[in-house]
Amino acid sequence: MSRRVALVTDSTSSLPGDVLRERGIVVVPLQVVIGAKSYDEGTQATPQTVATALREFAPVSTSRPSPEAFLRVYLDAAESGCTAVVSVHLSGEVSGTYESAELAAGKAPLPVETVDSRHVGMGTGFAVLAAADALDAGATAVQAARAAAARAAVTRAYFYVDTLEYLRRGGRIGAAAALLGSALAVKPLLVVTEGRIGPLEKVRTTGRALNRIEELAAEAAAASSTPVEVAVQHLASAERADAVAGRLKERLGLQQVYVSEVGAVIGAHVGPGMLAVVVAPRSA
């Protein structure tokens, strides 16, 4: 797809390759470090790679793209004839990726509108798609960035994890640390609030946790004044994700619920067994 405004995101946005190609979206990868070796997310490090490493207790960490990596993409956009860039990324509260994009934007030879989605995974992905829709409709870079931010602001993301241990190791749980004392006795539900992953509720069994996350998704959809899109994401738990997606599709009367495995970076912090439901209202 050819536009005068380039659309950029990072590899945590969870958008499938065919969607990226069809919508003309450029991806800048984060890195996953397993042991002493660094891998680009998506092309080198897969969710399966990370799940296996975590189960084997191998050291796993992640790192943001450098400002230089973003600047190369922005330079490529300028050289291809683009007049501006919209760059939409995961929450600056959990990663330095957005900061890298901003630093690169300051050196770019064309205007770059950076957007902190304040989300992770498909919470960011739906914001990117909002920008793509706006650009396809003839919006300016500034208008497309506003569309992405507006959709992200009304998107709700709920997480179930088998254990908080992986989030604790990566320092990504913030206030959820209060749950650690009873983590083995409960199944924690988490929510993205103001860009951070924090505690929502404690549930005693996996079955109850999944039922509750479906209820929360249904409540979020009912509260929206516009139609919603829903995504179910998981790490090494495809059967569970398919079951939740099927129930939500029927419950909400949707033609489609997106199901995907989270990327290696998010997977490194949530661990195998994670399941997330993202509810994203469309623009009015």
Measured CA to CA, the distance from residue 85 to residue 77 in angstroms comes to 7
Residues 11 and 91 in one domain: yes
Ranking 100-104, 118-122, 186-190 by mean pLDDT, the lowest is 186-190
pLDDT digits (tens, 9 = 90+) for 215-266: 999 999 999 999 999 999 999 899 999 999 999 999 999 999 999 998 888 8
Is residue 139 assigned to a domain?
A: yes
Residue 176: pLDDT band by 50, 70, 90 thresholds?
very low
- Look up residue 166 and give its amino acid: Y
Is residue 277 assigned to a domain?
A: yes
Contact in structure between 118 and 156 (CB atoms under 8 Å)? no
Confidence (pLDDT) at 284: 66
Confidence (pLDDT) at 191: 92
Residues 11 and 126 in one domain: yes
Query: CATH code at 249?
Result: 3.30.1180.10
Q: Number of structural domains, the chain?
A: 2
Considering 119, 152, 185, which residue would you say is the last residue of a domain?
152
Considering 152, 185, 218, which residue would you say is the last residue of a domain?
152
Residues 260 and 187 in one domain: yes
Residues 86 and 207 in one domain: no
Q: Where are the beta strands (DSSP E) in the chain?
A: 5-10, 25-28, 31-34, 37-40, 60-63, 84-89, 112-116, 156-160, 187-193, 196-203, 228-234, 258-261, 275-281
For the residues 45-54, what does the mean pLDDT come to?
A: 85
Measured CA to CA, the distance from residue 241 to residue 172 in angstroms comes to 23
Residues 192 and 252 in one domain: yes
Residues 194 and 142 in one domain: no
Confidence (pLDDT) at 268: 82
State the Rg of the chain over Cα.
Answer: 18
Is residue 262 assigned to a domain?
A: yes
Q: pLDDT: is 188 or 40 the higher one?
A: 40
For the residues 14-43, what does the mean pLDDT come to?
A: 92
Is residue 89 assigned to a domain?
A: yes
Measured CA to CA, the distance from residue 257 to residue 279 in angstroms comes to 10
* Helical (H) or strand (E) element with 153: helix 141-154
Domain carrying residue 193: 156-281
Residues 94 and 200 in one domain: no
Q: What is the mean pLDDT of the chain?
A: 90
Is residue 48 assigned to a domain?
A: no
Considering 120, 137, 152, which residue would you say is the last residue of a domain?
152
Instruction: Indicate whether 173 pLDDT > 60.
Output: no
Confidence (pLDDT) at 153: 97
Residues 129 and 161 in one domain: no
Residues 168 and 207 in one domain: yes
